[in-house]
Structure 1
Amino acid sequence: GRHAISHPKCGTNMFLFFSNSGAFSEVVMAREKATGKMVAIKCIPKKALKGKETSIENEIAVLRKIKHENIVALEDIYESSNHLYLIMQLVSGGELFDRIVEKGFYTEMDASRLIKQVLDAVNYLHSMGIVHRDLKPENLLYFSPHDDSKIMISDFGLSKMEGTGDVMATACGTPGYVAPEVLAQKPYSKAVDCWSIGVIAYILLCGYPPFYDENDSKLFEQILKADYEFDAPYWDDISDSAKDFISCLMEKDPKKRFTCDQALQHPWIAGDTALCKNIHESVSRQIRKNFAKSKWRQAFNATAVVRHMRRLQLGTSFSSSINSNNPPPNPQSRAPVRVRVSNCTVKSELLDDDQHPVLPPSSF
């Protein structure tokens, strides 16, 4: 719907004209009235933050710290009595898989260029002491609809800053992309991101996941053993260099696994070993076939899976929550929520929750 966010204390008005609601938050596109600049606003009801305060505080702290051309930027924060508003850089090119399917021509070289951008961004994060912990195709977005658009990493809700004194051992991530050491409930490091990039590269070259089973227990057993193959005929036209690159990232032992810096120097990324043969037909067919399965689009707490191998605790990734039928939380059952934002100024009380008049189309 179309709504105006305005307040006498606020220097600019935001005119909202498109929204996508999830169980945890709403993301809207907006135009800044003063400049005409388009942004995305993540609108989070404070009543939905109960129990998730640490996650949103962490996401804000991480986003405030980073600035990279391939990472969606946090531009500002507003807070009202009932909502928290994250003003984000707008990316309008769509999800990675959707663009690949829409292409008429797609090669190993295209996949190599995509992965290089991801490696550059994640290498930057790692140099800043940040581990993303939830890298997956749904969190890779194209900046614009143009054919030469760059790729952008989004969603830092599960990211973690190293050196905070906490040992990273919390099992989190998304089924199929999570590293073996995470499922094994062992302390882990930034190497978990490198594993996830390997999984993404695997999918980009064949269109199906390296690990899959309808039974959750068997799925995680495959991952724990790093039990994957380059199946014929799907990998027959893929170079040995690409397979070697993936194997270096999808190495079970995190100490032997390639770092982002090492991966950036691999011939498949830095050299000319990526083939230029069109693999669009086979890859797009497999993507359409395999990634309609919602299980691959749901976040989870892997500790519960390891302990019980039956229970998945669903998370709140934007892509998996759009179609959620969960009832809204009862505000009367929740205590007031306070969000602490470190190292930045929150523009408190700039937005009036009760004054969002619906605007006619002629207002735009």
Structure 2
Amino acid sequence: MKRVALEDIYESSNHLYLIMQLVSGGELFDRIVEKGFYTEMDASRLIRQVLDAVNYLHSMGIVHRDLKPENLLYFNPHDESKIMISDFGLSKMEGTGDVMATACGTPGYVAPEVLAQKPYSKAVDCWSIGVIAYILLCGYPPFYDENDSKLFEQILKADYEFDAPYWDDISDSAKDFISCLMEKDPEKRFTCDQALQHPWIAGDTALCKNIHESVSRQMRKNFAKSKWRQAFNATAVIRHMRRLQLGTSFGSNIHSANPSSNTQSRAPAKSQSVDCAPLSLKDCE
């Protein structure tokens, strides 16, 4: 797994053209849903690719800050295709003298310390990988509420469960792996290096039972294409974030796809779909 590359740049009097590497294999969830057979071992191999790539980024001092499934793309349509990591619009170099404290990222994948507006580190990427691993094994997100303030409260408390019956056929090793990454305290949270040594990744504890039917059904319910793409203009986002009940505004970096809903639910039947992008380079310092 590697990042999508910038191949060339062309400049005219009015435009700047960025020539990007062609990635034609589609998004991660789409490929899983289309499969007829999918196991915990498949999920383990996918997450290993993500860990290898992010571990390399971290070794270079780069923090992605917006890891999520739709930023994981297959290079080509072939079954053996590698996964590419994309969208570095929110990424930042760690150790440049600036303290990372900007509340940015995608709400369902963002680490507690980001929402708490505390200085944070590359550990935020490891939290996001834990969230992705959780979804790969059950098809729905660990944190859910149509009310963003309730959603953020769950994340701040690291309040998630391995619900029956969706997790009944998933190994204890997989659950332990996720718990090590979705650890509230970033000092205790596994690094990419540590996660790569976990038995679920490096050993043989990932099960080979077919979980495709259950996982793909939940993915179709929770991550419909039409929901992934929703976004709101900056003014609407700022107004919405100011209405949240966490005591401070998180600024203009988080886009909500459902700003008027007040319905609360912990059921995995359907998921809020939210997305985020930098509104300007300054917003993502």
Q: Does TM-score exceed 0.5, indicating one fold?
A: yes
1:121 offset after TM fit, Å? 0.4
**Alpha-carbon displacement from aligned partner over 1:227-275 (angstroms, at most 9, x marks no partner):** 0000000000000000000000000000000000000000000000000
Change (3 A) 1:88 1:348: farther
Q: What is the CA-CA distance between 1:81 and the residue it aligns to?
A: 2.2
The CA distance in 1 between the partners of 2:182 and 2:273, in whole Å, is 47
Shift, 1:88, TM fit: 1.3
Q: CA deviation at 1:87?
A: 1.3
Alpha-carbon distance in structure 1 between the residues aligned to 2:46 and 2:166: 20
Deviation at 1:74, TM superposition (A): 1.3
Q: How many residues align?
A: 284
Secondary structure in 1 aligned to 2:107?
coil
Aligned-pair identity in percent equals: 90
Residue segments in structure 1 that go unaligned for 5+ positions in a row: 1-69, 337-345
Distance 1:284 1:314, change over 3 A: farther
Counterpart residue number, 2:80 = 148
Deviations 1:33-90 (A, max 9, x none): xxxxxxxxxxxxxxxxxxxxxxxxxxxxxxxxxxxxx211111112222222111111
Q: Label 1:279 to 1:169 Cα distance change in 2 as closer, same or farther (>3 A).
A: same
Shift of 1:111: 0.4
Larger mean CA deviation between 71-80 and 283-292 belongs to: 71-80
The two structures, once aligned, show a CA RMSD in angstroms of: 12.1
Contact preservation (8 Å) 2:24, 2:75: yes
Alpha carbons of structure 1 residues 313 and 155: separation in structure 2 relative to 1, 3 Å = farther
User: Whole-Å Cα distance in 2 between the matches of residues 95 and 81 of structure 1?
Assistant: 35
Query: What is the CA distance between 1:292 and its match in structure 2?
Result: 2.3
Give the drift of 1:166. Answer: 1.1
CA gap 1:84/1:316 in 2 versus in 1, 3 angstroms: farther
Structure that is richer in strand per residue: 1
Q: Deviations over 1:302-352 (max 9, x none)?
A: 99999975559999999999999999999999999xxxxxxxxx999999x
Change (3 A) 1:153 1:232: same
- Higher alpha-carbon deviation: 185-194 or 354-363: 354-363
Conserved? CA contact 2:134–2:142, under 8 Å:
yes
SS at match of 1:275: coil
Give the secondary-structure state (helix, strand or coil) at the position aligned to 1:332: coil
Once the two structures are overlaid, the 10-residue window that deviates more, 324-333 or 220-229, is: 324-333
> Hey, what does 1:23 align to over in structure 2?
none
Tell me the CA shift for residue 299 of structure 1. Answer: 7.5
Q: Output one character per residue of 1:139-171: Cα deviation in whole Å (capped at 9) or x when no partner.
A: 000011011111110000000001221110000
CA deviation string 1:197-246 (max 9, x = no partner)? 00000000000000010111100000000000000000000000000000
Distance 1:333 1:145, change over 3 A: closer
Distance across 2 between alignment mates of 1:184 and 1:99: 35
Moved more, 354-363 or 162-171: 354-363
Residues 166-199 of structure 1 show CA distances to partners (whole Å, capped at 9, x for unaligned) of: 1100000012000000000000000000000000
The whole-number CA distance in structure 1 between the counterparts of 2:255 and 2:64 is: 25
The alpha-carbon distance between structure 1 residues 313 and 95, as it changes in their structure 2 partners (threshold 3 A), is farther
Alpha-carbon separation, structure 2, partners of 1:198 and 1:133:
14
Local SS of the residue matching 1:321: coil
SS at match of 2:16: strand
CA contact (8 A) 2:140 2:218 kept: yes
Find the aligned partners of 1:359 and 1:165 in 2 and give their Cα distance.
Answer: 21
- Is contact 1:174-1:298 (8 Å) kept? no
Consecutive aligned runs of 4 or more in structure 1 exceeding 2 Å deviation: 292-336, 346-351, 354-364
- Give yes or no for contact 1:138–1:297 (8 Å, CA) kept in 2: no
